[in-house]
Structure 1
Amino acid sequence: MSKPQTLLQLSGRSYAPARWANATLLVIDAQEEYRSGALALPNLESSLAQITRLLKTAREAGAPVVHIHHLGITSGLFDPQGLRGQIMPEAAPLPGESVVAKRLPNAFAGTELHDLLQKHGRLDLIVCGYMTHSSVSSTVRAAKDYGYRCTLVENACATRHLPQGDGQIDAERVHRVEMTALADNFAICVEDADALI
């Protein structure tokens, strides 16, 4: 039996992973809520280390960096006036880097993200952040509609355990399934920051 192919491969629309010289780094919701809040992620530290490596490499390469910042509910999830709503210091924007505020999972919905990316003039996006099954997924799927080519860095994304009936689905399983679905038709997936040149 032959190895299954992705829809991107079957359609002839597959592409190589993005190169820093032609890409914009998109960091989605690297916020304290995922470290110390109700949505604390089990694999946060290892994925955050990958995000910081991506940021360092992007900055050294002179690639544009766009930070997505989810605006939540006062005194609730992603409290915009509290610590949990803030971008984690390890992933904080530097002067000159763009920050796009959003209120929905899809970072394109009701924001200036598309117009900002058009100004950078790069169709390749290197994507990382939180959560794999929610904001990362919805943003990557929308990016395809706008004509962008996404490269997802698997170990620079993470998600949480999800409730199912009386139990839960393990975060790592949710992450793997969502990454597999996105790799089928919406993005090229690489394992970690070292895979990009």
Structure 2
Amino acid sequence: MSQPQTMLQLSGRAYAPAHLANATLLIIDVQEEYRGGVLELPGLAASLDEIAALLESARQVGAPVVHVHHLGITGGLFDPQGQRGQIMPEAAPRPGEIVIGKRLPNAFAGTDLHDQLQALGRLDLIVCGFMTHSSISTTVRAAKDYGYRCTLVDRACATRDLPFEGGTLAADEVHRIEMAILADNFAACVTDTNAVR
């Protein structure tokens, strides 16, 4: 049996991964809820290190950076008034970097993200953050609808264990499957920051 190909390859729409010099870095939901809240991620430390490296590389080459900040419920998940809702210091925005507040997993839904990206004038997005199966997935899928080309940095994304059929799907399995799904028809996927420098 031959090696399977992605839908992007089969349709002739595959593209090379972007580089920071010609792309916008989109950082999604790197918030304290994932460090110490009920949504604590098992692979957080390694992915956060990779996000910090990616962010530093983007700043070094002058790439535009857009931070997406999930605005949750006061007293609940991603409490915008509490510590758990805050962006982690390792990925904190600097003056001049765009911050988009969102209330749904898809960062385009009910926000001005598309307008802000259009103003930056770059078709390529390099995407990282949390969680792979939720806000990353929905945003990358929507980005394709808007005509953007996404490059996902594998080690700069993470997710959590999920309950399923009376058992548990491990976070790394959920992450790996979601990355494969997105690589099939929605994004170019690379291993780490070195691949987009």
1:116 is aligned with what amino acid? Q
What is residue 48 of structure 2 aligned with on the other side? 48
**Alignment partner of 1:99 is 2:99:** yes
1:22 Cα deviation from its structure 2 partner: 1.1
1:96 Cα deviation from its structure 2 partner: 0.4
Spell out structure 1 runs of 4+ moving beyond 4 A.
Answer: none
Q: How far apart are the structure 2 equivalents of 1:89 and 1:107?
A: 21
Residues 61-140 of structure 1: pairs in structure 2 closer than 5 A: 61-140=61-140
Q: How far apart are the structure 2 equivalents of 1:117 and 1:195?
A: 22
Q: How far apart are the structure 2 equivalents of 1:61 and 1:3?
A: 37
Q: How far apart are the structure 1 equivalents of 2:54 and 2:111?
A: 24
The one-character-per-residue Cα deviations of 1:78-115 (angstroms, maximum 9, x if unpaired) are: 00000000000000000100000000000000000000
The number of equivalent residue pairs is 197
**Alignment partner of 1:162 is 2:162:** yes
Q: How far apart are the structure 1 equivalents of 2:196 and 2:5?
A: 22
TM-score by length of 1: 0.99
In structure 2, the gaps of 5 or more residues are none
1:58 Cα deviation from its structure 2 partner: 0.3
1:154 is aligned with what amino acid? D
In structure 1, the gaps of 5 or more residues are none
1:165 Cα deviation from its structure 2 partner: 2.9
What is residue 175 of structure 1 aligned with on the other side? 175
The secondary structure found in structure 2 opposite 1:47 is helix
The secondary structure found in structure 1 opposite 2:122 is coil
1:194 Cα deviation from its structure 2 partner: 1.0
Q: How far apart are the structure 2 equivalents of 1:22 and 1:196?
A: 10
Q: How far apart are the structure 2 equivalents of 1:196 and 1:104?
A: 28
TM-score by length of 2: 0.99
